[in-house]
């Protein structure tokens, strides 16, 4: 779980009442949310505190934890950030990482290159600054955002930044759920409403 904001946790805690969840990965900052931690303990879910370098097996590869948070407060910049190379395509998942966290990520990984970026913080004004986008140079930006959400995400300025660097944008508010499939060594994108 990237972090414990309600829009990321969703019905996870209710789901934990209905099905057995063996383990959940969290950043150290998420442990500051006592209600969340108590619920996990009550549901008897093992807590794995992520560490930089941890690997999550997926497909024939793994997602690697690049950051397990920068602030220790359980806020957006405490999102778990993961990176993976699947079928010759580099993916970066940033949770709700904001510009401060993006700068820290570039300090720690100055040569980071990405093909597919899951845009931080739903494309809000607080994420995806010019320097970050220019440096990682993604070809595709995925924005997970609710239709007509009360925050007005994604922010127009963020969309303009992505367009400036000629990055293809796919948004869940416009396309529905996004499903990436690898077929014959090529990625196909399917949208589901």
How distant, in Å, are the alpha carbons of 3, 86, 125, 161 from that of 130? Answer: 24, 26, 11, 6
E runs forming strands in 68-167: 81-86, 89-93, 116-118, 140-143
Distance from C-alpha of 78 to C-alpha of 96, rounded to nearest angstrom: 8
What percent of the chain shows pLDDT beyond 70? 94
Is the model's pTM score more than 0.95? no
How distant, in Å, are the alpha carbons of 114, 124, 131 from that of 137? Answer: 6, 19, 10
Q: What is the predicted pLDDT for the residue at 1?
A: 52
> So where are the chain's domains?
52-192
Q: What are the tens digits of pLDDT across the range 14-58?
A: 777 788 888 888 888 888 888 878 877 877 888 899 999 999 988
Strand partners, 187: 182
Number of Cα atoms under 13 Å in the Cβ half of residue 40: 20
Average pLDDT for 165-180: 93
52-192 sits in which CATH class?
alpha beta
Q: What are the tens digits of pLDDT across the range 54-70?
A: 999 887 889 999 998 87
Number of Cα atoms under 13 Å in the Cβ half of residue 175: 14
Per-residue confidence at 10, pLDDT binned at 50, 70, 90? low
Distance from C-alpha of 40 to C-alpha of 25, rounded to nearest angstrom: 11
Return the C-alpha torsion angle 159, 78, 105, 178, nearest 10. Answer: -40
Q: What are the tens digits of pLDDT across the range 95-138?
A: 889 999 999 999 999 999 999 999 998 899 999 999 999 999 99
Q: What is the predicted pLDDT for the residue at 83?
A: 98
Distance from C-alpha of 145 to C-alpha of 48, rounded to nearest angstrom: 27
What percent of the chain shows pLDDT beyond 90? 50
Structure tokens at 81: 């950030």
Residue 2 has pLDDT above 60, yes or no: no
Structure tokens at 179: 């499903």
Per-residue confidence at 9, pLDDT binned at 50, 70, 90? low
Give the chain's mean pLDDT.
87
């Amino acid at each position: 779980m990237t972090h414990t904001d309600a829009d990321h946790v969703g019905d996870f805690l209710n789901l934990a009442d209905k099905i057995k969840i063996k383990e959940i990965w969290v950043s150290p900052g998420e442990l500051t949310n006592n209600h969340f931690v108590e619920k996990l303990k009550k549901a008897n879910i093992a807590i794995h505190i992520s560490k930089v370098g941890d690997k999550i097996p997926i497909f024939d590869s793994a997602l690697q934890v690049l950051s397990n948070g920068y602030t220790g407060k359980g806020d957006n910049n405490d999102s778990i950030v993961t990176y993976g190379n699947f079928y010759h395509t580099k993916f970066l998942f940033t949770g709700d990482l904001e510009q401060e966290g993006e700068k820290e990520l570039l300090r720690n990984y100055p040569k980071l290159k990405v093909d597919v970026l899951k845009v931080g913080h739903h494309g809000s004004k607080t994420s995806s600054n010019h320097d970050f986008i220019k440096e990682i140079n993604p070809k595709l930006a995925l924005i997970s955002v609710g239709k007509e959400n009360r925050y007005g995400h994604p922010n127009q300025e963020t969309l303009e930044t992505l367009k400036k660097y000629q990055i293809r944008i796919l948004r869940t508010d416009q396309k529905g759920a996004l499903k990436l499939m690898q077929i014959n060594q090529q990625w196909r994108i399917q949208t589901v409403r």
